Amino acid sequence: MLLFVGLGNPGAKYARNRHNIGFVAVDEIARRHGFAPWRRRFQGETSEGALDSERVILLKPATFMNESGRAVQEAASFFKLGAGEVTVFQDELELLPAKLRVKVGGGIAGHNGLRSISAHIGNDYRRVRLGIGHPGIKDLVHAYVLADFAKSDGPWVAALCEAVADNAALLAKGRDSTFQNKVHLAMQAKGFFDKDDSSEKPD
Protein backbone atom coordinates (compact mmCIF):
# COMPACT_ATOMS: atom_id res chain seq x y z
CA MET A 1 0.00 0.00 0.00
CA LEU A 2 1.10 3.55 -0.78
CA LEU A 3 -0.01 6.98 0.43
CA PHE A 4 -0.22 9.75 -2.19
CA VAL A 5 -0.67 13.17 -0.57
CA GLY A 6 -1.78 16.29 -2.41
CA LEU A 7 -0.88 19.55 -0.71
CA GLY A 8 -3.12 22.60 -0.58
CA ASN A 9 -5.35 24.67 1.67
CA PRO A 10 -8.95 23.53 2.28
CA GLY A 11 -12.02 25.45 1.17
CA ALA A 12 -13.38 27.12 -1.95
CA LYS A 13 -11.46 30.33 -1.23
CA TYR A 14 -8.17 28.60 -1.97
CA ALA A 15 -9.24 26.08 -4.60
CA ARG A 16 -7.62 27.84 -7.57
CA ASN A 17 -4.52 29.06 -5.72
CA ARG A 18 -1.08 28.16 -7.06
CA HIS A 19 -0.40 26.60 -3.65
CA ASN A 20 -3.21 24.08 -4.31
CA ILE A 21 -1.89 22.39 -7.44
CA GLY A 22 -1.16 19.29 -5.34
CA PHE A 23 -4.88 18.94 -4.62
CA VAL A 24 -5.62 19.28 -8.35
CA ALA A 25 -3.13 16.53 -9.19
CA VAL A 26 -4.56 13.94 -6.78
CA ASP A 27 -8.12 14.87 -7.78
CA GLU A 28 -7.17 14.04 -11.35
CA ILE A 29 -5.58 10.73 -10.32
CA ALA A 30 -8.81 9.80 -8.52
CA ARG A 31 -10.94 10.79 -11.50
CA ARG A 32 -8.89 9.10 -14.20
CA HIS A 33 -8.42 5.83 -12.35
CA GLY A 34 -11.92 5.41 -10.94
CA PHE A 35 -10.99 5.72 -7.27
CA ALA A 36 -13.68 5.52 -4.59
CA PRO A 37 -15.57 8.68 -3.57
CA TRP A 38 -13.70 11.02 -1.25
CA ARG A 39 -14.51 10.66 2.46
CA ARG A 40 -13.49 12.50 5.61
CA ARG A 41 -10.87 10.91 7.84
CA PHE A 42 -7.31 11.40 9.11
CA GLN A 43 -7.89 15.17 9.44
CA GLY A 44 -8.47 15.26 5.72
CA GLU A 45 -10.19 13.59 2.80
CA THR A 46 -9.18 10.22 1.37
CA SER A 47 -9.97 8.20 -1.71
CA GLU A 48 -8.88 4.60 -2.25
CA GLY A 49 -8.10 2.76 -5.43
CA ALA A 50 -5.45 0.93 -7.40
CA LEU A 51 -2.72 1.98 -9.80
CA ASP A 52 -1.77 -1.04 -11.83
CA SER A 53 -1.68 -3.67 -9.05
CA GLU A 54 -0.72 -1.28 -6.24
CA ARG A 55 -3.29 -0.22 -3.66
CA VAL A 56 -3.09 3.54 -3.18
CA ILE A 57 -4.67 5.88 -0.65
CA LEU A 58 -5.01 9.47 -1.84
CA LEU A 59 -5.04 12.09 0.92
CA LYS A 60 -5.89 15.79 0.88
CA PRO A 61 -5.18 17.23 4.35
CA ALA A 62 -8.02 19.39 5.67
CA THR A 63 -5.62 21.17 7.98
CA PHE A 64 -4.07 24.29 6.53
CA MET A 65 -0.82 23.89 4.64
CA ASN A 66 1.49 24.51 7.58
CA GLU A 67 -0.16 21.67 9.56
CA SER A 68 -0.25 19.12 6.71
CA GLY A 69 2.02 16.75 8.62
CA ARG A 70 -0.66 16.00 11.20
CA ALA A 71 -2.94 14.41 8.61
CA VAL A 72 -0.08 12.62 6.87
CA GLN A 73 1.22 11.15 10.13
CA GLU A 74 -2.25 9.98 11.18
CA ALA A 75 -2.85 8.22 7.87
CA ALA A 76 0.65 6.74 7.70
CA SER A 77 0.39 5.45 11.26
CA PHE A 78 -3.02 3.89 10.64
CA PHE A 79 -1.78 1.98 7.59
CA LYS A 80 1.66 1.31 9.14
CA LEU A 81 3.49 3.06 6.32
CA GLY A 82 6.99 4.45 6.50
CA ALA A 83 8.16 7.67 4.87
CA GLY A 84 9.41 5.66 1.90
CA GLU A 85 5.83 4.68 1.06
CA VAL A 86 4.60 8.29 1.04
CA THR A 87 4.54 10.48 -2.06
CA VAL A 88 3.74 14.18 -1.77
CA PHE A 89 2.48 16.30 -4.68
CA GLN A 90 3.55 19.91 -4.09
CA ASP A 91 3.81 23.30 -5.77
CA GLU A 92 7.41 24.21 -6.59
CA LEU A 93 8.55 27.82 -6.94
CA GLU A 94 12.00 26.84 -8.19
CA LEU A 95 10.68 25.16 -11.33
CA LEU A 96 9.25 26.96 -14.33
CA PRO A 97 5.49 26.63 -14.83
CA ALA A 98 4.48 23.23 -16.25
CA LYS A 99 7.81 21.61 -15.34
CA LEU A 100 7.98 18.59 -13.04
CA ARG A 101 10.67 16.87 -11.00
CA VAL A 102 10.62 13.84 -8.72
CA LYS A 103 13.00 13.53 -5.79
CA VAL A 104 13.29 11.65 -2.51
CA GLY A 105 14.31 13.59 0.57
CA GLY A 106 16.32 16.78 0.25
CA GLY A 107 15.60 20.30 1.43
CA ILE A 108 12.20 21.87 1.87
CA ALA A 109 13.07 25.26 0.30
CA GLY A 110 10.81 27.15 2.67
CA HIS A 111 7.69 25.13 1.80
CA ASN A 112 5.52 25.05 4.92
CA GLY A 113 3.69 21.90 3.91
CA LEU A 114 6.93 19.98 3.48
CA ARG A 115 8.30 21.40 6.72
CA SER A 116 5.29 20.08 8.61
CA ILE A 117 5.43 16.65 6.97
CA SER A 118 9.16 16.29 7.62
CA ALA A 119 8.61 17.22 11.27
CA HIS A 120 6.00 14.46 11.62
CA ILE A 121 7.32 11.53 9.56
CA GLY A 122 10.92 12.38 8.74
CA ASN A 123 12.37 13.63 5.48
CA ASP A 124 12.72 10.50 3.36
CA TYR A 125 9.45 10.68 1.44
CA ARG A 126 9.10 11.20 -2.29
CA ARG A 127 8.12 14.61 -3.63
CA VAL A 128 6.51 15.25 -7.00
CA ARG A 129 7.46 18.89 -7.54
CA LEU A 130 4.96 20.69 -9.79
CA GLY A 131 6.48 23.88 -11.17
CA ILE A 132 4.52 27.08 -10.70
CA GLY A 133 7.35 29.57 -11.35
CA HIS A 134 8.66 32.31 -9.06
CA PRO A 135 7.46 35.93 -8.82
CA GLY A 136 11.09 37.03 -8.96
CA ILE A 137 11.19 38.82 -5.62
CA LYS A 138 11.29 36.91 -2.34
CA ASP A 139 8.94 39.33 -0.57
CA LEU A 140 6.24 38.57 -3.16
CA VAL A 141 6.29 34.79 -2.69
CA HIS A 142 3.58 34.56 -0.02
CA ALA A 143 1.07 36.58 -2.03
CA TYR A 144 2.04 34.77 -5.22
CA VAL A 145 1.41 31.21 -3.99
CA LEU A 146 -1.89 32.24 -2.36
CA ALA A 147 -3.11 33.96 -5.53
CA ASP A 148 -5.21 32.16 -8.11
CA PHE A 149 -3.65 30.87 -11.30
CA ALA A 150 -4.15 33.29 -14.17
CA LYS A 151 -6.74 32.29 -16.74
CA SER A 152 -3.90 31.81 -19.22
CA ASP A 153 -2.38 29.20 -16.89
CA GLY A 154 -5.42 26.96 -17.15
CA PRO A 155 -4.29 24.89 -20.19
CA TRP A 156 -0.88 23.93 -18.81
CA VAL A 157 -2.21 23.26 -15.29
CA ALA A 158 -4.83 20.90 -16.71
CA ALA A 159 -2.34 19.25 -19.08
CA LEU A 160 0.26 18.75 -16.35
CA CYS A 161 -2.19 17.19 -13.91
CA GLU A 162 -3.61 14.96 -16.66
CA ALA A 163 -0.10 13.78 -17.58
CA VAL A 164 0.64 13.10 -13.90
CA ALA A 165 -2.57 11.07 -13.59
CA ASP A 166 -2.03 9.18 -16.84
CA ASN A 167 1.41 8.03 -15.68
CA ALA A 168 0.75 7.66 -11.95
CA ALA A 169 1.11 3.87 -12.08
CA LEU A 170 4.81 4.39 -12.84
CA LEU A 171 5.14 6.24 -9.53
CA ALA A 172 3.35 3.43 -7.77
CA LYS A 173 5.89 1.01 -9.22
CA GLY A 174 8.83 3.17 -8.14
CA ARG A 175 9.78 4.05 -11.72
CA ASP A 176 10.38 7.70 -10.91
CA SER A 177 12.69 8.59 -13.81
CA THR A 178 10.37 6.99 -16.36
CA PHE A 179 7.40 8.82 -14.83
CA GLN A 180 9.24 12.14 -15.00
CA ASN A 181 10.25 11.58 -18.64
CA LYS A 182 6.77 10.45 -19.70
CA VAL A 183 5.20 13.58 -18.18
CA HIS A 184 7.77 15.78 -19.88
CA LEU A 185 7.16 14.11 -23.26
CA ALA A 186 3.40 14.49 -22.84
CA MET A 187 3.79 18.20 -22.13
CA GLN A 188 6.17 18.57 -25.06
CA ALA A 189 3.71 16.83 -27.37
CA LYS A 190 1.05 19.34 -26.33
CA GLY A 191 3.35 22.21 -27.28
CA PHE A 192 4.37 23.42 -23.84
CA PHE A 193 8.11 22.75 -24.36
CA ASP A 194 10.45 23.02 -27.32
CA LYS A 195 11.97 19.80 -28.61
CA ASP A 196 15.48 21.00 -27.80
CA ASP A 197 14.53 21.74 -24.20
CA SER A 198 16.97 19.66 -22.14
CA SER A 199 15.82 20.84 -18.73
CA GLU A 200 13.98 17.58 -18.10
CA LYS A 201 17.32 16.04 -17.08
CA PRO A 202 17.46 15.10 -13.39
CA ASP A 203 18.87 17.81 -11.15
Question: Is the residue at 137 inside a domain?
Answer: yes
Do residues 61 and 73 make contact, with C-beta atoms less than 8 angstroms apart?
Answer: no
Question: Is the residue at 31 inside a domain?
Answer: yes
Question: Is the residue at 99 inside a domain?
Answer: yes
pLDDT of 147: 94
Query: Which residues participate in catalysis according to the annotation?
Result: 19
Q: How many domains does the chain have?
A: 1
Which residues in the chain show pLDDT less than 50? 198-203
pLDDT of 99: 95
| 3-class SS string, 27-63 | HHHHHHCCCCCCEEECCEEEEEEEECCEEEEEEEECC
Question: Is the residue at 201 inside a domain?
Answer: no
Question: Is the residue at 196 inside a domain?
Answer: no
Question: Is the residue at 199 inside a domain?
Answer: no
Residue 29: give the domain boundaries. 2-189
Q: Where are the beta strands (DSSP E) in 93-143?
A: 100-104, 126-131
pTM: 0.93
pLDDT of 201: 41
pLDDT of 199: 46
pLDDT of 192: 87
CATH for 17: 3.40.50.1470
CA-angle at 182, arms to 178 and 186, nearest 5°: 175
